[in-house]
Structure 1
């Protein structure tokens, strides 16, 4: 049997709350031009998703194009055992780049880790030959305008899933990238780690290098906190996990010359289990085994104009423990890599407007211009579309009645490409409220000019916009950077939203109390706020330590209720430094 099938299925899905109306350019908690999110709804809704299955007599792989093209399920046919953590609900949590990560399945990331399209649709195609079936998922990503496609294929007699990934840069500039294939598998106390020997970089609350043979954990039970392990000099090309209590496991193999990266991530048994439970329904635990073409996640490579990259890897579901030193990299015959399709922009509702603007510019027909996105529409000019610089100038010049909105978009586009002075010039010419707020961020973060940033906030005209939590949060950061002379102005703005149960505003109210010397009140406020968990962010931890120092009660470990992890800061996850 060799079968490919497409269908739809309903999953419980927790809606996301957008961070706000200010473009995500230069935002440490997001990545331009994607919309980022501030919290997850506690109550789910029902939502339909597209799925594609590849199946033979030995395994069944299910891919979900509507969840970024991830492998949703991988079943060992003979035993009927699921070898991945197949998420029962789409319940996103705060992990960069967009703060809407979901665990489980096999995620392919590009051009940053994790993928910015984790829970949104990408394009896909399928193909059948006499002896092999294929599904391709991908898009032209909007950050840099590069193409990525992941190919999953299954041969008639294969007991493994073949994954091939292709990247291509059609733009005129070189762009940084990283990529990891991240498999989320069920985690039990007896889940065994079957990884190569050799030196390993361990990333927990500190960085250290250990000898895996002597000091590495052997099972999930041996890890008592969230920790990532990166292999430096593995002595074989396969790795995996096996859980005796479940009778299932998953292994990975690839040519180390093209896939040198090996990683194990576990939240362990104990205090950090809640970091996994937050994206499950019943508290079930999940750990991650990862592979990549780069050694670790502190490193990025560059893809030159016209440059391409591809690599091949294999996933092996099983119902028994395997010897990684006996696992050979499979040899399969695949079509030429040039036959892997390169897709265009995937979500017309996000990108269609920018293609219309470019089409109007190319045709020199102002009448073809669409209306610009309004203040309640978080679509921002995509930085991966090079033609938009000229097209947005054309739009602004052709429609005087819409010039302000188009120049705001051009300013955001420049900021998204790190062209800060040009961005500030366009934002100043726009004078729209979104332009003022983005300009303020650029003055504060890129120019170190809090006074100029504060003047931008004071120029905002809409009271609704001025009181939005995102604007309130960043304005308070700006004013606090000026010094104690702004305490009264900060109090005025924070008091106007003091009835809102917003965790970001609570953080800034606590900061204002601390800056006012009211440390006990600041402590009570932080302790009484229900913060959702967020990875790789430490603003509240630093604030808590300052408060405790002010109370004369220094603490070494920040409390868990702050919702921030205690990892040593490592990795190229953020595009820009934390506030």
Structure 2
């Protein structure tokens, strides 16, 4: 018997905070620039060059979180039979938070004991652990810390299916997840469907990001003899190159053991055409998690933080109080690498079925020095599950469009709003009812009739796909503001500047003018109107530090107290020659909640102060976030 039930999951949690009202005019993530792209095979190069997301609009950034942990109840939905218990978090991107194999008592995933956002996602906020579903573009998706709709659907075998769905707003793709746990199954099945309801081709991207606990004996098994290696470090390390290497030996180590890597690194395994796709992580005894899928989800990946100071610091940062040896990530995707996007045609849906469960194999086979013997032994154990996936998928497809029978959670109203604009034909299995729209979404409905009342002094994220409606709407400052953002998104810089100029003296249009033109006076006027808005003040001071230290100092004099501002005070002290003041600020401690993956200003400033002072005090461990550090 399979039971679907609702519970509260109580975790020590940081507050996610409010969204940043400043328009994300360009992406904050610059991690995946391939230095040797010209050397890549033509199809791989074409996919990497296609479909890159230059902004997360219409989504706003989520950077208002903190690091104060308070017990918080999260809605959780649980699927359970006699063999497996799965816990899913509908309010946090549908994260598969926990998967327990009941007979052994083994938690198959890395289950984060806290909810602590950090700056790793496309919209900034991301949290570690479980299985995350990434759709839209390279990176952790815009909905990873946002709610999804959830409902019960009758499964093909009479057991309940837990369905989650939502509109991925940067691509206007409808994302559907069907969690299915047949009564006699030791595997959780996850059916995924991506619907492109529009009249134009859409770049498609998907990676299931699986966190698994690691130990010195943990090994990753996968049907591959080659992998594309992508690094994060600078020279003399190979750096941000994409190089095809052999598996398992690389750089003097067996790369399939996550804890043998000194630095953060990605390995995208080259699929073998005669093997079904799967990936597993097993411990010293040969037990662990395996993920397998039908053929559309061909890509497989291993990511490690590395055992250097930076990698350990990141894991502690993401999971305060982290015990054991931390976690690695095994992943599964549509393309060979996460740097690629594929072309999802007009009015087309793609689907596949994933399976998650326990792999138990002979530990001698699992850790054989003969790589082919190890992966072949794992494939042999998995053969019954993998061979049955196609039939399981056909069964699931009989209900993939079935209407939900009981609502369990409500996501956003953005899907309903888009249907009101477009009249798209979508599946009855993923409904977006009008009553899911909140006042936030309903504020846009008048634009369908040619007007957008300026009732609020803080603009929402611009619906950039509504540009034609914006251009034809009645004029007011809010319409001019959104016209400017939509024009800039489409590459019309001059038109954007004209629109923001006509929006008048409001801080958000002035900020956009400063951001695009680099003219500090716009920022100064914006800060004068909203001196309390920390993201605005931080942007303004950062530009002033590049252009005019005196003006930067004046803005800092009235700036609010915030870690982002304190970091800028350190830089100001260094730039004005006061290395002692910079050192004292750093020594007092700056806990920058939004420190970004791939950036390490705290270490950089510490070293700069030490050099200026002629001292050589070591960088405090809490400041070591470098992904390439040993």
TM-score for the superposition, normalised by structure 2? 0.75
**Contact (CA 8 Å) 1:143, 1:382: kept in 2 or not?**
no
| Deviation at residue 187 of structure 1 after TM alignment | 2.2
- Deviation (angstroms), 1:565: 2.7
Alignment pair present for 1:223 and 2:261:
yes
Report Cα offsets for 1:366-420 as digits up to 9, x if no partner.
Answer: 6xx6664433xx732333xx346415853x44xxxxx223432333344445543
For the residue of structure 1 that corresponds to 2:181, the secondary structure is: strand
Match of 1:54 in 2: 79
In the alignment, what sits opposite 1:139?
166
Report deviation, 1:337: 7.9
Superimposed CA distance per residue, residues 293-322 of structure 1 (whole angstroms, 9 cap, x where no aligned partner): 111122223434434322322212245567
Contact 1:545 1:554 in 2 (8 A): no
Which piece of structure 1 moves more, 105-114 or 143-152? 143-152
Give the aligned partner of residue 312 of structure 2.
Answer: 273
Structure 1's 166 and 37: CA in aligned 2 closer, same or farther, altered over 3 A?
Answer: same
210 and 355 in structure 1: CA distance in 2 versus 1, 3 angstrom threshold: same
Secondary structure of 1:508's counterpart equals helix
Match of 2:514 in 1: 440
Give CA-to-partner distance per residue, 1:221-255, whole Å, 9 cap, x none: 4233333221134584322112247x851001224
Q: Which residue of 2 aligns with 1:213?
A: 248
Cα pair distance change 1:93/1:389, threshold 3 Å: same
Superposed counterparts of 1:37-116, under 5 Å: 37-38=62-63, 40-112=65-137, 113-116=139-142
Deviates further, 74-83 or 518-527? 518-527
Paired with 1:563 and 1:177, the residues of 2 have a C-alpha distance of: 35
Structure 1 portions without partners, runs of 5+: 398-402, 444-449, 569-579
What's the counterpart of residue 371 of structure 2? none
Q: How many residues matched?
A: 538
Q: Give the aligned partner of residue 347 of structure 2.
A: 306
Partner of 1:575: none
Unaligned runs of 5+ residues in structure 2 are 30-54, 234-238, 367-376, 415-435
Which residue is equivalent to 1:390? 469
Measure the CA separation in 2 of the matches of 1:71 and 1:421: 45
- Please state how far the C-alpha of 1:12 moved relative to its aligned partner: 2.8
SS in structure 2 at match of 1:118: coil
1:10-21 correspondence to structure 2 within 5 Å: 10-18=10-18, 20-21=20-21
1:125 Cα shift?
A: 1.9
> In the aligned structure 1, how far is the partner of 2:626 from the partner of 2:399?
41
Within 5 Å, give how 1:164-563 maps onto structure 2: 164-202=191-229, 203-205=231-233, 206=239, 207=241, 209-215=244-250, 216-234=254-272, 236=275, 237-244=277-284, 248-255=287-294, 257-269=295-307, 271=309, 272-284=311-323, 285-318=326-359, 323-326=377-380, 327-328=382-383, 329=386, 330-331=388-389, 332=392, 333-336=395-398, 339=401, 346-348=411-413, 352-353=438-439, 355-363=441-449, 372-375=455-458, 379-383=460-464, 386-387=465-466, 389-390=468-469, 393-394=472-473, 396-397=474-475, 403-431=476-504, 432-443=506-517, 450=518, 453-460=519-526, 463=528, 465-466=530-531, 468-482=533-547, 486-497=548-559, 500-519=560-579, 521-522=581-582, 525-526=585-586, 528-532=588-592, 534-538=595-599, 540=601, 544=605, 547=608, 551=612, 561-562=622-623
Query: Compared with structure 1, are the counterparts of its residues 554 and 407 closer, same or farther at alpha carbon in structure 2 (3 Å cutoff)?
Result: farther
- Aligned counterpart, 1:573: none
Deviation by residue 1:547-568 (Cα, 9 ceiling, x = unmatched)? 479749899x987554543349
Deviations 1:73-110 (A, max 9, x none): 21213223221122332221221212221111111111
3-state SS, counterpart of residue 126 of structure 2:
coil
Query: Aligned runs of 1:145-164 on 2, under 5 Å?
Result: 145-164=172-191
1-structure distance, mates of 2:202, 2:317: 34
**Does the CA-based 8 Å contact 1:239-1:324 persist in structure 2?**
no
1:22 matched residue in structure 2: 22
Q: 1:177 to 1:354 in 2, by over 3 A?
A: farther
User: Which residue in 2 is equivalent to 1:572?
Assistant: none
TM-score by length of 1: 0.81
1:519 CA drift (Å): 4.9
What SS class does the counterpart of residue 601 from structure 2 fall into? Answer: helix
Q: Which moved more, 1:220-229 or 1:347-356?
A: 347-356
